[in-house]
A and B are shown apart, each in its own frame.
Chain A
Amino acid sequence: MFHFASALTGRMNMQAFPRDTITAGGALSMVFALIAIAAFLTYKKRWKWLWKEWLTSLDPKRIGVMYIIVALVMLLRGLGDVLLIRTQQATSVGSSHGILNSDHFQQIFSAHGSIMIFFVAMGLMFGLINLILPLHIGARDVAFPFLNSVAFWLFVAGMALMNLSIIFGEFSAAGWLAYPPLSELQYSPGVGVDYWIWSLQIAGVGSLLSGVNFLTTIFKMRAPGMTMMKMPIFVWSVLCSMLLVVFAFPILTVTLALLYFDRSLGMHFFTSTGGGNPMMYVNLIWAWGHPEVYILVLPAFGIYSEVVATFARKRLFGYKSMVWALGAITFLSFSVWLHHFFTMGAGADVNAFFGIMTMVIAVPTGVKIFNWLFTMYHGRILFATPMLWFMGFIATFTVGGVAGVLMAVPPADFQIHNSLFLVAHFHTMIIGGVVFGYFAGITYWFPKIFGFKLNERLGRYAFWSWLVGFLLAFIPLYILGFMGATRRLDHYSASEGWQGLFIVAGVGVLFVLLGVGFQILQFIVSIIQRKQNIDATGDPWNGRTLEWSAPSPVPFYNFTTIPEVHSRDAFWETKRAKISMPPRYEDITLPKNSPMGIFIAAFAFMVGFGCIWHIVWLIVLGLIGVVITVLVRSADEDTEETTTAAEVKRLDRVARKVAA
């Protein structure tokens, strides 16, 4: 219930600041990092540049880079959580209780999952889509550039709220999905679950807006001649993923809202009494949750299709069946969600139906794997870093996927549900499938966006460290799962005999961190050595799709003239036919910068903070602020600016002269 100590400050109090060493350490390092960045910007007098060139930009290439930077920073945070979890599980045996108390441990694994899914995976995905989608379809921009900015800043607001919980308050201890009754007020009376709810709710609205945006972009803004069946497969994968976003995220919005209503308004949706039904929460959250994992992985599959075709120097095998497979996965992903709660008590008929559907959905995924292998067959493969990430994916994802098919059989699942076998399975899917895919995308498209190539050697070291680390971290977990270890344990008895495997898993994490270290080093070294590694032609990999026809880095207008497309792999065909048309220049009108996205997100943050701490005036202020900002923006008639043809010609000459 909305109990507030005072109308002014809600239920805020001084106890909300960190009271144990580890949390305080985390909070202080975050605060110091922010101060350091602010100091650096002030010293270099770069605030105006940052505001004008990046923060208020409506260019999806800029927004994409910002998404990826935020996501990679959040990756570090999530890996920090992993270090703590692995240390705890490797040391908390018998009479030792490790380094964390139970409540803290629970907050850490809850934060770990929430951050990795919502801010790392979603962030990398939306970042890469922003960067590449318009280029792939021969467009200059997305359908709704302002909405794009709003979506990004809502993502940041959600991220900020989740990280604020370290500094002020606590985080949810109910897992990354916060099942009731544990997440209800009776068992989680503090602010933790509310932080979780509002962080996800705000970021979720951003995702929904992006879904609408990218779908309209693909439907309406393809270059002349690019029919649906001539689009790059990456675009198809984004189409399917965004269809899922658009139809799954509203379910999350509702479920989070209902949980919040239970906690704050005394409603009885998921309470244990009053007519509530906690099982309904599990049903709804997974009706969203299953499509969510396909949302994450489909664009990664799309990236693999692009990467394999480029580095096997061969056309993608089976374009039509790839499209069919993507479509099948999209449809089917709405029919399997109960497999996440086979053990919750449904009868055999219900379990059997969803079990069968789960096994069926593995088929189109298998089709895709075979198509990638057939693309490689008789190709002349170049094992550049992006291709290495793909190979890592093939090796790990297939095994993890098969583990999933095992669990699709309900009687088998009854043995291993919520064991570490499950944890190993889904991490294999997400790391081997999603993360490796987005790393492949980053290394593949980096030269296009920044104009210079990444250091290949460090990229290789990073990949191998990650792969070895991943295997060391998760093969023990598969074994532990079969040995009976359940997930989320913060302590176990020595007689179980599990400690050795947990220690191996901990070593695995260290290798992953080594891999991350190599990635950071790769960025630093590549930036320092950028002049030696300039991407002069704009086509460093001998690519096949339209983005490689633009100069590197891509100018803000993408293309001087919108290309006309006659076939799949449009750029490859023009290269083969040695068609080179003299560039035509025309006036280009694009959106101006706008700070309104930032303001809307800031007001949304206020609403979230107010809801968490029960500060009514802040909620009202935030809502009014959002409405007013929207009205101000919609009344603005001067939102675009035109670059004259002469100026475009000049910019193009500069871009290509640097390249030539």
Chain B
Amino acid sequence: MSEAMVAHQSHPDDSKSILGFWIYIMTDCVLFASLFAVFAVMRNATFGGPNGHELFSLPFVLAETMLLLTSSFTCGLMVLAGRVRSKQWVMLALGVTFLLGLSFVCLEVSEFRHLVIEGNSWRRSGFLSAYFTLVATHGLHVSIGLLWLVVNGWRIVKRGLGDVTQKRLTLFSLFWHFLDIIWIIIFSMVYLVGVR
């Protein structure tokens, strides 16, 4: 974020927190990279079972992608609303971001449920183990983000929009944008490539 984006450095702490959180996000990128590496190595380890072509439903995944992408956008709007200290717009954007994110998680859970019921759980093959772990780790991150969002919303209701809260919204938005970026890679390299 440019320095202008960060509430005019009212607290010198802000740039420290943002850098620290950014570094943490970089570690999360390496975590996902390891999972991607495992998936790449195991992309054909189907052990006689089904592969991506047989399992993935592209329209479903497109819907998930659009939901998450839009929520990333509304999250950006939320931060901007916070910058002008407009409590209503912040809560609106926060709510929309939350609902979109929640829909994403629900769709993903139903996708998993469907696979498990048909006997294609993570136990079926190395490929499926890798697929479930990679996608569920992302989904878990999104879920924790949703919890964080609720906490932020609660804090705004209780204590209003101050500098500290704005900083936390900024940190949240870093997290949320990064999750969408990881999803782009999952969408492209796991689903689109996997389906073929």
Query: Direct contact between A and B in the complex (CB less than 8 angstroms)?
Result: yes
Residue pair B47, A268 in contact (C-beta under 8 Å)? yes
Q: Is the CB of B125 within 8 A of A268?
A: yes
The distance in angstroms between the C-alpha atoms of A276 and B128, with both chains bound, is 11
Choose among A250, A262, A631 the residue with the greatest number of B CB atoms under 10 Å from its CB: A250
> B residues within 8 A CB of A631?
151
Q: Tell me, yes or no, whether B127 is within 8 Å of chain A by CB.
A: yes
Given the known A-B contacts A247-B30, A275-B47, are A215 and B41 also in contact in the complex, defined by CB atoms under 8 Å?
no
Interface majority SS (helix, strand, loop, mixed), chain A: helix
Task: Output the nearest chain B residue to A242 by Cβ-Cβ distance.
Answer: B23
Is B81 positioned at the interface, with any CB of A under 8 Å from its CB? no
B23 touches A249 (CB 8 A): no
- A269 located at the interface, meaning its Cβ lies under 8 Å from any Cβ of chain B in the complex: yes
Across the interface, B20 reaches (CB within 8 A) one of A213, A268, A284, namely: A213
Give A274 to B129 CA distance when docked, in angstroms.
Answer: 10
Contact A255 B45 (CB under 8 A): no
Q: Are A253 and B31 neighbours in the complex by a CB distance under 8 Å?
A: yes
Q: Is the CB of B45 within 8 A of A212?
A: no
Chain B, Cβ-Cβ closest to A253: B31
Are B34 and A254 in touch, CB under 8 angstroms? yes
Q: Indicate if the CB atoms of B126 and A274 lie closer than 8 Å.
A: yes
- A220 is an interface residue with CB less than 8 A from chain B: yes
List residues of chain A with CB within 8 A of the CB of B23. 211-212, 215-216, 246
How many angstroms between the C-alpha atoms of A271 and B130 in the bound complex? 13
B19 x A219 contact (CB < 8 A) = yes
Within 245-278 of A, Cβ neighbours of B (below 8 Å) are at 246-251, 253-255, 257-258, 261-262, 265-269, 271, 273-277
Interface size of A by CB at 8 A reads 41
Q: Find the residue from A143, A219, A254 having the highest chain B CB count within 10 A.
A: A254
Q: Are A269 and B27 in contact (CB under 8 A)?
A: no
How many residues belonging to B are interface residues under a CB distance threshold of 8 Å? 34
- In the complex formed, the residue of B with least CB distance to A268 is B126
Q: A220-B15, A254-B31, A254-B34 are in contact. Are A269 and B20 (CB under 8 A)?
A: no
A247, A277, A634, A635: the one contacting B126 at CB < 8 Å is: A277
B129 touches A268 (CB 8 A): yes
A269 surroundings in chain B (CB, below 8 A): 38, 42, 126, 129-130, 133
Would B20 and A143 count as touching, CB distance under 8 A? yes
Contact with B along A198-215 (1 / 0, CB 8 A): 000000000010011101
User: B123 at interface (Cβ–Cβ under 8 A)?
Assistant: yes
Partner of B122 from A216, A267, A271 at Cβ < 8 Å: A267
Contacts of A17 in B (CB 8 A): none
In the bound complex, how far is the Cα of B23 from the Cα of A220, in angstroms?
13
**A220 engages B123 (CB within 8 Å):** no
In B8-66, which residues have CB < 8 Å from any A CB?
Answer: 15-16, 19-20, 23-24, 26-28, 30-31, 34-35, 37-38, 41-42, 45-47
Q: Which residues of A contact B125 (CB under 8 A)?
A: 268, 274-275
B34: chain A residues at CB < 8 Å are 250-251, 254-255, 284
Nearest-Cβ distance from residue A486 to partner chain B, whole angstroms: 29
Residues 63-93 of chain B, each 1 if its beta carbon lies under 8 Å from chain A, else 0: 0000000000000000000000000000000
- Is A557 positioned at the interface, with any CB of B under 8 Å from its CB? no
The answer to whether A274 and B26 have CB atoms under 8 Å apart is no
Asked if A144 is at the interface of the complex by the 8 Å CB criterion, the answer is: yes
**Contact: B46 with A212, CB < 8 Å?**
no
Q: Are B19 and A275 in contact (CB under 8 A)?
A: no
- Those of A205-253 within 8 Å (CB) of chain B: 208, 211-213, 215-216, 219-221, 246-251, 253
Which chain B residues in 83-141 approach chain A with CB under 8 Å?
Answer: 122-130, 132-133
A631 vs B26: C-alpha distance when bound (angstroms): 23
Contact B122 A250 (CB under 8 A): no
Q: Does A246 lie within 8 Å of B20, measured CB to CB?
A: no
A109-124 interface bits toward B, Cβ cutoff 8 Å, 1 = contact, 0 = none = 0000000000000000
Q: Give me the interface of B with A, judged by CB distance under 8 Å.
A: 15-16, 19-20, 23-24, 26-28, 30-31, 34-35, 37-38, 41-42, 45-47, 122-130, 132-133, 147, 151, 155
Chain A interface (Cβ within 8 Å of chain B)? 143-144, 208, 211-213, 215-216, 219-221, 246-251, 253-255, 257-258, 261-262, 265-269, 271, 273-277, 280, 284, 627, 631, 634-635
Besides A250-B30, A266-B123, A631-B151, 15 other CB < 8 A contacts?
A220-B16, A221-B16, A246-B27, A251-B30, A267-B129, A268-B129, A273-B47, A275-B45, A275-B125, A275-B126, A275-B129, A276-B126, A277-B45, A280-B42, A627-B147
